[in-house]
Chains A and B, each alone.
Chain A
Amino acid sequence: MKRFFILMLGIFFCVPHLLFGDGVDLTDLSIEELMNLEITTILKEEKKVKDIPASIYIITKEDIKRSGATSIPELLRMVPGVDVAQINSHLWAITIRGFNDEYSNKLLVLIDGRSVYYPLFSGVCWDKQDLVLEDIERIEIIRGPGASIWGANAVNGVINIVTKNSKDTQGVYVSALAGNFHRGISSFRYGGRLKDNLTYRVYLKSREIGNTYKKQGGRSPDDWRDLRGGFRVDLSPSLKDSLMISGDIFHKHTGHLISYEDLNFPYYHSFEDDSREGGFNINTRYEHKIGKNKLTLTSYIDRTTYDDPISNWKVFTLDGEIRYEHKLSRHDIIMGVGGRLIDTEFDGVFSFDFDPHSKRSYIGSAFFQDNISVYRDKLFFMVGGKLEKHSLVSPKILPTARLLYKINKDHTLWAAVSKSIRTPSMGERYIVIRKLLSGPNYPIVLSMYGNKHVKLERVNSYEMGYRGSINTNLSFDISLFANEYRDIPDMYIPNFPPATFGFVGNYLEGESYGTEMTLKSKLYDRVKLYLGYSYKKIFLHNKSPYQNFLIGEKLEHESPESTVTLTSYIDIKKNLSLNMFFRYVSGLNSINVDPYFSGDMALNWQVNEKLRLKFVVENMFDPRHTEFGPHFLDPYVTEIPRKYYIKVEYSF
């Protein structure tokens, strides 16, 4: 079966070459045809990307339009070096350059400049982040540290999601999707113009996702219902000024197997119930151009709540930043200052709680970056750093130095050295976990505590990369990295007897190295093939006298050592295109996940100017497979089923 699919794949590679002829001269097109052309920014972005001394990858709106993905995590699968594992129907473990977990704490994610890094557990709650995918302008993925600009926690990568200006989302857009696993996803968006320089859009999106399956058999009670809405307003009062205000609000229910322990007989409790989550955010951005220079003011507030029968959490963030970009003949300077206030609240049960329940923390920061053209637009040197002050931690400087050499107009070489930090989560500082062991007459309590004085995790990164295009149809991008991790926090689990207490401490250190490669090729203008490969190796060492940790050295193998991805875009006819996506992911030894080979297929049919149909099959090759270990709250392993759906999109 597998071979058959691979053979099919081969046919898809080679046959289009024989079928399709030459490209077009645009002046042959009529005005009507020209008016129907999408202004692809791919080229512009590739040009921009060429000059960045970092391992960067961009998911364009064209990629999004063609892909069969229904959520941001699924979109990220196409990027070589980004490890995406679906834990259950609504949870994902996503990371770059290793250390994958439900809360991957070394990856920073921003949506229009708003950080969605969750301070309670250090990581990103991917199920809380959703947008009308058609309103995304692009997703920039930076593999490697970005701390000198974005600050703490941008250790192994930064994902920057940029939504479209509302002037580019005018009119009505409606989509409805139904399938076996995605029971229903519907989106509605309306974009309008109040004045010539004042545009807006509003959207509403609902989602109902079915269950995954328990590995040991039976359905996993993890269905997901989600409703969200939002707006974006763009105003440009003059040629020099622009103002953006946006906001989102959401509410979601997800199913869980809730388990906890307490001192009441029978001590262990477990039942199925829903969690309810909600939240809202408001973002503003004001840009003022002064000649070639630019001043940007951004601010946002973000509040999320989580509520289930045994715990409830609240997080509130207020953030503001001023950024100034100054261009001189040989220097591109960016500098800025920012501040953030975070309020967290956590109320739990005997076996899982925070002490104290609520906490306020602050971050203050200032950064500076200079991109210097050293020699004739060929050699560039970038130096920058961010000074950050977090509550409870002395100020830290996060510097980077990067060098870029343009061998010629098609080939670029770069190298970088950076220092970054990962701040301890509220959990690592204030969590309380209690476990019961059955004693002779009464249970024995093992207690594990967070540590207010836990140190920052420090990371030194060394990277280099080479990008080039061999001809207009074949380009590649290779990056190599090596990281040193110091003071990795973990929780010591007491070995009973004799110990009954455990604490969080900076018990581990480690190294990692690896590579990411992308090969993009085009066969005429109708077929595009992207091949991606990533490899990494992580070594962790215990430098403490203890042995038994909550996560520990098994984190070495929680991210796949190697992955291979292959994306193909085929324009079968003018209005019919096929997108196929294959990936091989090596196994995760420490959590018993087998290697898997998976394929997705999306057939796009533009019926007419307004109507578009999409037929999608995900996981073509196997009916079910496991992608990750058990979730922190639901203690069992799930299998992700084969998914298929039909999507109807209508816009006018």
Chain B
Amino acid sequence: MKGLRKTVIIILVVWIFFTSPTSYAMDLNNVSVYDIKAAFVYNFLKFIEFKNKRVQKDCINICVCSNEVAKKSFERLQGKKIGSKIIKVRFLNNLKNKVYICNVLFLQRDVTKNLEYSKFLDKINSMGILSISDLRNFAEYGGIIELFPQNNKIRFKINLRSAEKANIKIHARLLQLARGVIK
């Protein structure tokens, strides 16, 4: 029993030594759901063409209307590139002003209470903005891409009708991966 105790102590010491405070790169166990959702948004942009003229040549404006947790996740997209375009992330506190500068609008649960979705989304679509959200039935209400959880994984739906209204072209590859396309 004595030898056992000694070995255990040695192992513990070695273990604590090896877990000494060091900062590691982001690892999967520390990822918030919004880190994954932000990565989805970034990836969607690779499969999307804005046909309208509001998009500048050198940058894409992603507007995020969300709580603090999601904000942190989207901050990481700042400065990343899609082709030759640099991503600029802007955080909106409300949806009244400034929406016109957005190319992409990410709406998060909790912050868009009591909005008349279909009306509001019609307006957003007519402005040529790619709307993405994890609000339930977002696509049904007229949003373009809806993220939703299923079997503990994130899936997405696309409303093609809204995309056409917004003059946004979605590549067939993305449509294939979508779990539900509204035509």
Inter-chain contact A26/B14, CB cutoff 8 Å: no
Contacting residues, chain A, for B155 (C-beta < 8 A): 35
Inter-chain contact B10/A27, CB cutoff 8 Å: no
What 1/0 flags go to A17-42 for Cβ under 8 Å of B? 10000111111011110111111101
Shortest beta-carbon distance, B104 to chain A, in Å?
Answer: 15
Residue of B nearest to A236 (CB): B136
What 1/0 flags go to B4-39 for Cβ under 8 Å of A? 100110111011001101111111111111011011
Residue of A nearest to B10 (CB): A10
Inter-chain contact B15/A169, CB cutoff 8 Å: no
B 101-137 contacts with A by CB, 8 A:
136-137
Give the CA-CA distance A196 to B76 in the complex, in Å.
33
A 225-272 contacts with B by CB, 8 A:
236, 239
B 125-151 contacts with A by CB, 8 A:
136-137, 140, 149-151
Inter-chain contact B18/A24, CB cutoff 8 Å: no
Given A23-B28, A40-B29, A44-B32, 19 more pairs with CB closer than 8 A:
A23-B27, A25-B76, A27-B76, A27-B80, A36-B153, A38-B153, A39-B36, A39-B153, A40-B28, A42-B29, A167-B150, A168-B151, A196-B137, A472-B30, A474-B19, A522-B19, A525-B29, A529-B19, A531-B12
Give the CA-CA distance A137 to B82 in the complex, in Å.
37
Inter-chain contact B26/A37, CB cutoff 8 Å: no
Contacting residues, chain A, for B26 (C-beta < 8 A): 23-26
What are 5 of the A-B contact pairs (CB < 8 Å)? A37-B153, A40-B29, A43-B30, A473-B24, A523-B18
Inter-chain contact B177/A9, CB cutoff 8 Å: no
Chain A interface (Cβ within 8 Å of chain B)? 2-3, 6-7, 9-10, 13-14, 17, 22-27, 29-32, 34-40, 42-44, 61, 167-171, 196, 236, 239, 470-474, 521-525, 528-529, 531, 597
Interface residue? B152 (CB, 8 A): yes
Interface residue? B77 (CB, 8 A): yes
Contact residue among B3, B8, B76, B149 (Cβ-Cβ distance under 8 Å from A168): B149
Contacting residues, chain B, for A525 (C-beta < 8 A): 24, 27-29
Shortest beta-carbon distance, A132 to chain B, in Å?
Answer: 14
Contacting residues, chain B, for A23 (C-beta < 8 A): 24-28
Shortest beta-carbon distance, A318 to chain B, in Å?
Answer: 34
Chain B interface (Cβ within 8 Å of chain A)? 3-4, 7-8, 10-12, 14-15, 18-19, 21-33, 35-36, 38-40, 42-44, 47, 76-77, 80, 136-137, 140, 149-155, 174, 177
Shortest beta-carbon distance, B143 to chain A, in Å?
Answer: 14
Contacting residues, chain B, for A167 (C-beta < 8 A): 149-150
The 5 closest A-B pairs by CB, nearest first: A525-B27, A23-B27, A26-B39, A23-B25, A471-B21
Q: With A34-B154, A35-B154, A39-B154 in contact, is A470–B21 under 8 Å at CB?
A: yes
Inter-chain residue pair count (beta carbon < 8 A)? 139
**Chain B contact residues: helix, strand, loop or mixed:** helix
Inter-chain contact B35/A26, CB cutoff 8 Å: yes
Inter-chain contact A22/B24, CB cutoff 8 Å: yes
Inter-chain contact B15/A521, CB cutoff 8 Å: yes
Residue of A nearest to B40 (CB): A34
Inter-chain contact B7/A24, CB cutoff 8 Å: no
Give the CA-CA distance A42 to B26 in the complex, in Å.
15
Inter-chain contact B151/A472, CB cutoff 8 Å: no
Contact residue among B11, B40, B47 (Cβ-Cβ distance under 8 Å from A9): B11
Contacting residues, chain B, for A14 (C-beta < 8 A): 14-15, 18
Contacting residues, chain B, for A35 (C-beta < 8 A): 153-155, 177
Inter-chain contact B39/A27, CB cutoff 8 Å: yes
Contacting residues, chain A, for B136 (C-beta < 8 A): 236, 239
Shortest beta-carbon distance, B168 to chain A, in Å?
Answer: 17
Contacting residues, chain A, for B47 (C-beta < 8 A): 31
Residue of B nearest to A529 (CB): B15
Contacting residues, chain A, for B177 (C-beta < 8 A): 31-32, 35
Residue of A nearest to B137 (CB): A196
Residue of B nearest to A38 (CB): B152
Inter-chain contact B174/A471, CB cutoff 8 Å: no
Q: With A26-B39, A170-B150, A196-B137 in contact, is A3–B7 under 8 Å at CB?
A: yes
Contacting residues, chain A, for B140 (C-beta < 8 A): 196
Inter-chain contact A3/B15, CB cutoff 8 Å: no
Inter-chain contact A13/B153, CB cutoff 8 Å: no
Contacting residues, chain A, for B149 (C-beta < 8 A): 39, 167-168
Inter-chain contact B153/A29, CB cutoff 8 Å: no
Contacting residues, chain B, for A30 (C-beta < 8 A): 43
